[in-house]
């Protein structure tokens, strides 16, 4: 393989070499022929065939990359050429020989001289070329021959001189140092000048071939210079001059992206100087920064730190003792003044390292950063409420009690002038009291628990409705009113009597005239509900004609609206959702409030539609009251909450007050003063200042002003059951489970 690969190289070389030696060696050939022709014609002829064979053997050597052999081959080949030339070109090139002999005379003479001498020694030792090839020659160490010539004859080992010969050669032969042993022939071969030159070049790291020029001029196959004449004479196409549509599209896409903000262009970078003066402003005074904290300063030494302090600074023995007994943290100064006779006598300062360490701690632990701590006074977060003293008058103390009932008092009502009080109790009586003295004026026994009672708001009419079992009766305490009023009341209430007959039995309520006995007592009309459920509430419309009754258990007929003068009954709701707790008329508008367990629904009675639903966020509403101006309502709940709703504001409570510790039973607004109150099972009544402003922008002001305690005892975990403000005075009246009604002023 290696042989085949190198073969073309050798051939090429042969070609290259065959060119120039011919000219150069021609004169040599001539001389050689002249020289050889005399003595060695036969020898030459005899060796001709050998030489010709030698060529191929030399080829073999070169294939083995033995550089030495290669050059030897060259030499041999010269010889071959010489011998061949002698025979082939002798006649033809006779003229040339003569011409060439002119320039190469002197050189040739030297050369010939040397050459011939060498040739002589060579010819003595000449051997046929060995054909064993590139094998380790040690294989032939044990044989007398070293290989075979081209004819297969053994080539004998040349005679090998001993050490002495070697030494002599070294001493005598001037070419010894430039001769090398040919391994194939086992003979010393002298290197030629070219070979030496090659060796030298290799040693000098140069290209071995002396004739190789690495800096030949480059042939530019593809040139950068424009041709003078273009290859194509076609005119420039139009698209070279028209702006690119595609580019425009791409640009517009980017522009759109920038406009829409999808693409954020890089800001033009401010060229920063590569180097700048770090300390350029260091000599200027630092700006006053609010966050700047200077490093703590060291205390300056005082007089008593002197080595020779005045006598008054020196501590007495007692002081010294005290100082030593003190805890080091408690000491005012951490040293004792000491006196030395001279500065020389002052010893090294013992606390130096300690103090400097502390100073370092000071510097490094000193707060270099101001923490932004929220320094808010919690007091300031409390809303500024006016002092309750400025909000007087409001009830503050228990004045007296109205005693007489023998069971819990669920309800009472005050006449619109504020002179009389009517109360209904579980002892099945209704009593009328004189408010200022606490005198019981009237007592009726009705035969059932009185659940609700309501004085007629019409000032011309003297009387009230009382609800017991499924009945509602209008009772007039005629002693309290003058004759005229009595007549008016009588006419007012009984005017509808003649309409009663027309009513068919399917009506939800039956109006009936009281018996004579009942008339004696003051009953004017009795309303029987067709359902048998207890009527829990009766409430008036402000004009005193319409009133509503509530029987929560009676299903659809739970809420009924009646007209007193016409003795008519309407059923406003076909279907009732939820358990109704309380109903109420709006004081001004034709609205109707219905409080269910969790919601308050407001209905417009004229339009006959629901206008609003208020969500109280409480679990069980117990009571409801509407502000006399009608824009605010309060509710109390069994889960201790009192909610104030501003109807203009939201359907959620404007304020939720949770001050009671037990369920709230009743809430009430004052009709004239900005007061409202709640009473609870914990036996207390809480009075609040609740100012409603005409200005729509100003929210109501709610201030708790007073807790009225101690008036009612808690009986069977029931405390105050009902509370109501006096219509004209800042007094509140409350009734409780302890059979008492209390007046607070």
Partner 1 sequence: MEPDIENEPQIQVKFVTQQRKYAVADSAILVPAKLRRYGLSEIINHLLGYEKPIPFDFLVDGEFLRTSLSEYLQNARLSTENIITLEYVESMLPPTSLSAYQHDDWVSSVKGHDQGYFLTGSYDNNVRIWNASGECLQTFVGHNAPIKSVAWVSIQDEDIICLSASQDRTIRAWHSSIADKQCDVLYEYRGHKGSIESISISKQEELFSSGSWDSSIRIWTTTTTPDDEDGSDYEFIENEKKRRKISKKKTNSIIAKKSIGILMGHVGPVSSVFFDTKDSAKLYSGGWDYSIRTWDIESRTNVDTKNCDQVVYDIAYSEKSGLIASGHADRAVRLWDPRAEDVAVVKLSLVSHQNWVSAVSWSKNSPFMLASASYDSCVKMWDIRSKSPLYNLRVSDDTNESRKKLLCIDWSKDLILSGGEDNRLHIHSAKKFENPYTKESP
Q: Footprint of partner 1 on this chain (CB under 8 A)?
A: 392-393, 399-401, 403, 417, 419, 436-439, 479-480, 482-487, 490, 519-520, 728-729, 745
- Min dist CB 362 to partner 1, Å, is 54
- Min dist CB 745 to partner 1, Å, is 6
Collect all residues with Cβ–Cβ distance below 8 Å to 366 and sequence separation of at least 6: 293, 295, 296
CA atoms of 43 and 272, how far apart (whole Å)? 95
CA angle in degrees (0–180, nearest 5) for 525-526-527: 125
For residue 234, the tally of other CB atoms under 10 A from its CB is 6
Q: Which is nearer to partner 1, 156 or 417 (CB)?
A: 417
Output the six-digit token pair for 538: 């009766």
- Phi/psi for 181 (5° steps) reads -85, 130
Q: Which is nearer to partner 1, 442 or 592 (CB)?
A: 442
Which residue's structure tokens are 């004859």? 153
Cβ(738)–Cβ(712) below 8 Å: yes
Helices (H), strands (E): how many in the chain? 13, 33
Q: Which is nearer to partner 1, 63 or 733 (CB)?
A: 733
55, with CB counted inside 10 A (0-12, 13-18, 19+), is middle
Please report, for residues 667, 683, 684, 737, the alpha-carbon distance to residue 709 in angstroms, rounded to integers and kept in the order given.
16, 7, 5, 14
- Min dist CB 442 to partner 1, Å, is 11
Q: Which is nearer to partner 1, 508 or 745 (CB)?
A: 745
Q: Which is nearer to partner 1, 486 or 540 (CB)?
A: 486
Cβ(58)–Cβ(69) below 8 Å: yes
Q: Which is nearer to partner 1, 433 or 585 (CB)?
A: 433
Q: Which is nearer to partner 1, 138 or 483 (CB)?
A: 483
CA atoms of 641 and 635, how far apart (whole Å)? 8
Q: Which is nearer to partner 1, 183 or 745 (CB)?
A: 745
Q: Which is nearer to partner 1, 313 or 400 (CB)?
A: 400
Cβ(346)–Cβ(338) below 8 Å: no
- Phi/psi for 570 (5° steps) reads -120, 155
- Min dist CB 475 to partner 1, Å, is 15
Q: Which is nearer to partner 1, 570 or 728 (CB)?
A: 728
Please report, for residues 385, 443, 445, 711, the alpha-carbon distance to residue 421 in angstroms, rounded to integers and kept in the order given.
34, 12, 16, 18
CA atoms of 561 and 573, how far apart (whole Å)? 10
In Å, how far from its chain's centre is CA 650? 36
Strands ordered across the beta sheet of 701-708: 664-669, 675-680, 685-691, 701-708
Output the six-digit token pair for 364: 């490094």
- Min dist CB 674 to partner 1, Å, is 15
Cis previous bond, 393, omega within 30: yes
Cβ(553)–Cβ(580) below 8 Å: no
Residue 138 carries which DSSP code? Answer: G
Output the six-digit token pair for 524: 């004017």
- Min dist CB 419 to partner 1, Å, is 6
CA atoms of 658 and 661, how far apart (whole Å)? 8
| H helix or E strand, kind and range, residue 732 | strand 732-736
Q: Classify strands 664-669 and 675-680 as parallel, antiparallel or unpaired.
A: antiparallel
Q: What is the DSSP string of 49-70?
A: HHHHHHHHHHHHHHHTT-HHHH
Cβ(416)–Cβ(459) below 8 Å: yes
Cβ(599)–Cβ(616) below 8 Å: yes
Q: Which is nearer to partner 1, 438 or 628 (CB)?
A: 438
In Å, how far from its chain's centre is CA 536? 59
- Min dist CB 501 to partner 1, Å, is 20
SS3 at position 455: strand
Tell me which residue of 87, 107, 88 sits closest to 28, measured CA to CA. 107
- Min dist CB 680 to partner 1, Å, is 24
Tell me which residue of 78, 79, 101 sits closest to 30, measured CA to CA. 101
Which residue's structure tokens are 């939800």? 508
Q: Which is nearer to partner 1, 249 or 519 (CB)?
A: 519
Q: Please compute Rg for the chain using Cα positions.
A: 69
Tell me which residue of 316, 308, 300 sits closest to 339, measured CA to CA. 308
- Min dist CB 438 to partner 1, Å, is 7
- Min dist CB 418 to partner 1, Å, is 8
CA atoms of 676 and 696, how far apart (whole Å)? 20
Q: Which is nearer to partner 1, 260 or 484 (CB)?
A: 484
CA atoms of 212 and 143, how far apart (whole Å)? 44
Q: Which is nearer to partner 1, 386 or 393 (CB)?
A: 393
Q: Which is nearer to partner 1, 395 or 424 (CB)?
A: 395
Q: Which is nearer to partner 1, 306 or 513 (CB)?
A: 513
Q: Which long-range contacts (CB under 8 A, 24 or more apart) does 282-291 make?
A: 291/369, 291/370
CA atoms of 375 and 381, how far apart (whole Å)? 12
Q: Which is nearer to partner 1, 80 or 461 (CB)?
A: 461
Q: Which is nearer to partner 1, 598 or 672 (CB)?
A: 672
């Amino acid at each position: 393989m290696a042989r085949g690969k190198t073969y073309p190289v050798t051939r090429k070389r042969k070609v290259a070499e065959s060119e120039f030696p011919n000219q150069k060696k021609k004169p040599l050939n001539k001389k050689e022929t002249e020289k050889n022709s005399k003595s060695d014609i036969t020898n030459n002829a005899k060796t001709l065939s050998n030489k010709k064979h030698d060529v191929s053997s030399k080829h073999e050597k070169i294939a083995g990359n033995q550089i030495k052999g290669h050059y030897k081959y060259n030499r041999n080949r010269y010889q071959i050429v010489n011998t061949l030339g002698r025979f082939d070109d002798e006649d033809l090139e006779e003229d040339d020989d003569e011409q060439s002999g002119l320039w190469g005379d002197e050189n040739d003479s030297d050369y010939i001289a040397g050459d011939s001498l060498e040739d002589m020694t060579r010819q003595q030792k000449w051997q046929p070329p060995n054909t064993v090839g590139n094998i380790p020659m040690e294989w032939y160490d044990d044989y007398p021959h070293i290989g075979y010539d081209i004819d297969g004859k053994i080539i004998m080992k040349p005679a090998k001189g001993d050490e002495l010969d070697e030494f002599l050669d070294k001493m005598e032969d001037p070419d010894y140092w430039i001769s090398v042993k040919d391994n194939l022939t086992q003979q010393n071969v002298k290197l030629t000048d070219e070979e030496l030159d090659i060796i030298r070049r290799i040693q000098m790291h140069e290209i071995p071939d002396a004739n190789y020029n690495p800096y030949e001029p480059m042939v530019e196959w593809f040139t950068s210079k424009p041709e003078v004449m273009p290859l194509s004479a076609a005119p420039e196409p139009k698209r070279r001059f028209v702006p690119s549509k595609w580019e425009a599209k791409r640009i517009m896409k980017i522009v759109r992206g920038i406009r829409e903000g999808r693409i954020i262009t890089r800001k033009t970078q401010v060229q920063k100087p590569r180097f700048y003066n770090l300390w350029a402003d260091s000599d200027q005074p630092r700006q006053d920064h609010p966050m700047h904290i200077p490093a703590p300063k060291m205390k300056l030494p005082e007089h008593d730190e002197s080595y020779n302090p005045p006598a008054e600074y020196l501590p007495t023995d007692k002081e010294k003792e005290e100082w030593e007994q003190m805890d080091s943290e408690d000491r005012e100064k951490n040293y004792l003044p000491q006196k030395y006779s001279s500065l020389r006598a002052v010893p090294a300062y013992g606390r130096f390292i300690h103090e400097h360490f502390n100073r370092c701690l000071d510097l490094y632990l000193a707060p270099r950063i101001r923490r932004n701590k929220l320094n808010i006074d919690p007091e300031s977060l409390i809303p500024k409420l006016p002092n309750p003293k400025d909000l007087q008058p409001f009830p503050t103390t228990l004045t007296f009690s109205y005693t007489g009932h023998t069971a819990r008092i669920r309800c009472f009502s005050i006449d619109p002038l504020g002179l009389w009080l009517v109360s209904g109790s579980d002892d099945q009586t209704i009593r009328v009291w004189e408010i200022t003295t606490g005198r019981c004026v009237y007592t009726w026994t009705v035969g059932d628990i009185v659940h609700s009672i309501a004085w007629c708001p019409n000032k011309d009419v003297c009387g009230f409705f009382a609800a017991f079992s499924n009945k509602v009766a209008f009772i007039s305490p005629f002693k309290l009113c003058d004759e005229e009023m009595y007549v008016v009341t009588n006419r007012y209430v009984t005017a509808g009597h003649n309409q009663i007959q027309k009513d068919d039995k399917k009506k939800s309520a039956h109006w009936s005239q009281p018996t004579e006995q009942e008339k004696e007592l003051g009953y004017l009309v009795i309303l029987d509900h067709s359902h048998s459920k207890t009527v829990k509430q009766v409430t008036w419309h402000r004009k005193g004609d319409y009133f509503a009754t509530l029987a929560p258990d009676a299903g659809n007929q739970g809420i009924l609206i009646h007209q007193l003068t016409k003795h008519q009954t309407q059923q406003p709701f076909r279907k009732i959702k939820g358990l109704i707790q309380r109903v109420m008329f709006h004081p001004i508008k034709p609205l109707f409030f219905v409080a269910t367990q969790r919601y308050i629904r407001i209905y417009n009675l004229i339009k006959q539609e629901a206008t609003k639903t208020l969500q109280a966020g409480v679990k069980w509403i117990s009571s409801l009251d509407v502000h006399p101006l009608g824009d605010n309502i309060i509710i109390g709940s069994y889960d201790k909450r009192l909610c104030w709703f501003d109807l203009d504001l939201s359907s959620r409570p404007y304020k939720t007050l949770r001050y009671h510790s037990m369920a709230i039973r009743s809430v009430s607004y004052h009709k004239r003063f900005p007061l409202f109150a709640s009473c609870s099972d914990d036996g207390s009544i809480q009075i609040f200042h609740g100012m409603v402003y005409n200005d729509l922008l100003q929210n109501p002001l709610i201030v708790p002003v007073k807790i009225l305690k101690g008036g009612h005892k808690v009986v069977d975990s029931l405390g105050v059951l009902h509370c109501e403000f006096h219509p004209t005075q800042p007094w509140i009246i409350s009734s409780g489970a302890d059979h008492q009604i209390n007046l607070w002023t």
